Amino acid sequence: MSAGGAAVAARIEPSARREHILAAAEACFVRNGFHRTTMQDLAREAAMSPGNFYRYFASKEDLVLGLAEGERARGARLVAELERDGDRRAALLGIVTRYFVSITRETAILRIDIWSEATRNPAIAAMTARGEAEARSWFVETFGVLARSPACDPVALYALLGPLMKGIVVDRALLPDYDPAASVAQLLALLEAGLDGRLPLAPTSSAEPSR
Amino acid sequence: MSAGGAAVAARIEPSARREHILAAAEACFVRNGFHRTTMQDLAREAAMSPGNFYRYFASKEDLVLGLAEGERARGARLVAELERDGDRRAALLGIVTRYFVSITRETAILRIDIWSEATRNPAIAAMTARGEAEARSWFVETFGVLARSPACDPVALYALLGPLMKGIVVDRALLPDYDPAASVAQLLALLEAGLDGRLPLAPTSSAEPSR
């Protein structure tokens, strides 16, 4: 057997191969969008023959779903890694900073694309909803553990910080002058005030007439 | 001349026809996404022949740009309408509520799609940047007029509320349990606290080392 690409490829585990393809697909999608990218483009980026490529992913939709699952799993792995030493506060600050604020423009673009696909594709919507539910329950639990005042309402605090973190991702993708340091500082200032019960938070099981 | 569709069509002003096409395109795009929609789908939705349709918009890109411009103009018109009676406070609350929070799921999806396109298309990016700059300058000026305390920093307040409003648009599109009343109440509570100078806001020309 030669030492060429095919021999190298043959030694790669299927799960590693899937990761390799997903990384190549992410680069392609971010550059051109899901819809301008063809399966042929993706096989070329992954340095695979189209036939071999199709054995791993049968459609672009499967790849988008794989990327959405990867995004969700990335958040869960980061939580597990940061919680390993038992410091909930450090884990919270790490997640806010690394998963939402100090991300690359490419990661932010991919998240917006996944949101866009989730509005039309039920499988991607289900994956996104699962990620949202996991995030919400982790944040609410963590806020509860770290609250320094009975006036801190963890559910109401997430109802504020959840959309704020998503909006920061949008700004990251869109604004040429996006400043991660300023966004981190802003988010942490709100977080601290929220844990102290000093933020004006709307009640979460509201019956406001302003609808 | 018959009283049929063609005769009716002939009496429509070109600008009204453009509006009609853009409304039809918006419906198509929201349903299927920009990329799954063909020019033929769009002509059919607008009840026009493809030949006639192309006289108004030469490409899907032109239509997306037209929709992005329409979104921007919609915000500007709403501002002008709400400011007509001179009550800046009512105008601010109206914009926050009507342009960002109490929007339809379809409008929210269209905005996410436009953001996604803006990351790849320079003309759409320029239009989106223009809308962002207009929004920022209007909000900062209005916060300055309405501030009730020298501790209110209008630029810092927009640095918080700008991304929060974008994130609310994302939640509107994605969350099945999205509650506009709760989002309005939350945003207004923050706004009032910000105008009173009671929000913990990070300084806007920051030199934090946390980057």
Q: What is the pLDDT of residue A29?
A: 87
Q: Phi, psi at residue A138, to the nearest 5°?
A: -65, -45
| Overall average pLDDT of the A109-113 stretch | 92
pLDDT score of A173 more than 90: yes
Quick one: tokens of A74? Answer: 């990335």
Domain layout of chain A by residue ranges: 85-200
Nearest chain B Cα distance for residue A51, angstroms: 25
pLDDT score of B190 more than 60: yes
Q: For B11-58, CATH number?
A: 1.10.10.60
pLDDT score of B143 more than 70: yes
Chain centroid, CA B154 distance in Å: 21
Chain A residues close to B98, C-beta within 8 Å = none
Residue with more model confidence, B99 or B1: B99
Q: Whole-number mean pLDDT of chain A?
A: 87
What is the C-alpha to C-alpha distance for residues A77 and A148, in angstroms, rounded to an integer?
A: 27
Q: Phi, psi at residue B172, to the nearest 5°?
A: -55, -40
The CATH class that applies to domain B68-201 reads mainly alpha
Task: Give residue B3's pLDDT band: very low, low, confident or very high (50, 70, 90).
Answer: very low
Chain A residues close to B109, C-beta within 8 Å = 116, 119
| Overall average pLDDT of the A134-138 stretch | 94
Answer whether B69's CB lies under 8 Å from B129's CB: no
Look up tokens 């639990």; give the residue: A141
Q: What is the pLDDT of residue A11?
A: 64
| Overall average pLDDT of the B154-169 stretch | 95
Compute how many other C-beta atoms are within 10 angstroms of the C-beta atom of residue A162.
20
pLDDT digits (tens, 9 = 90+) for A32-52: 888 888 899 999 999 999 999
What is the C-alpha to C-alpha distance for residues A183 and B160, in angstroms, rounded to an integer?
A: 8
Compute how many other C-beta atoms are within 10 angstroms of the C-beta atom of residue A70.
19
Ranges A30-34, A81-85, A95-99, B120-124: which has the least confidence: A30-34
- Coil, helix or strand at residue A164: helix
Q: What is the pLDDT of residue A71?
A: 84
Q: How far is CA A49 from CA A6, A12, A91, A125, A153, in A?
A: 10, 15, 42, 31, 54
Q: Phi, psi at residue B38, to the nearest 5°?
A: -100, 165
Task: Give residue B9's pLDDT band: very low, low, confident or very high (50, 70, 90).
Answer: low
The reply to whether residue A181 touches residue B120, judged by beta carbons under 8 angstroms, is no
Interface test with A, best of B28, B109, B116, B201 (most A CBs within 10 A): B116
pLDDT digits (tens, 9 = 90+) for A50-79: 999 999 999 988 998 998 888 888 888 999
Nearest chain A Cα distance for residue B146, angstroms: 19
Answer whether A203's CB lies under 8 Å from B196's CB: no
| Overall average pLDDT of the A194-201 stretch | 92
pLDDT score of B203 more than 80: no
Residue with more model confidence, A112 or A85: A112
What is the C-alpha to C-alpha distance for residues A180 and A187, in angstroms, rounded to an integer?
A: 10
Q: Which residues contact residue A180 at a Cβ distance below 8 angstroms, ignoring those fewer than 6 apart?
A: A101, A102, A172, B211
Look up tokens 């700008």; give the residue: B162
**Per residue, what are the HEC states of chain B?**
CCCCHHHHHHCCCHHHHHHHHHHHHHHHHHHHCCCCCCHHHHHHHCCCCHHHHHHHCCCHHHHHHHHHHHHHHHHHHHHHHHHCCCCHHHHHHHHHHHHHHCCCHHHHHHHHHHHHHHCCCHHHHHHHHHHHHHHHHHHHHHHHHHCCCCCCCHHHHHHHHHHHHHHHHHHHHHCCCCCHHHHHHHHHHHHHHHHCCCCCCCCCCCCCCCC
Answer whether A170's CB lies under 8 Å from B170's CB: yes
pLDDT digits (tens, 9 = 90+) for B67-105: 888 888 888 899 999 999 889 999 999 999 988 898 999
Chain B residues close to A111, C-beta within 8 Å = none
| Overall average pLDDT of the B173-195 stretch | 91
- Coil, helix or strand at residue A93: helix
- End-to-end, the C-alpha distance of chain B in Å comes to 70
pLDDT score of B211 more than 70: no
Nearest chain A Cα distance for residue B171, angstroms: 7
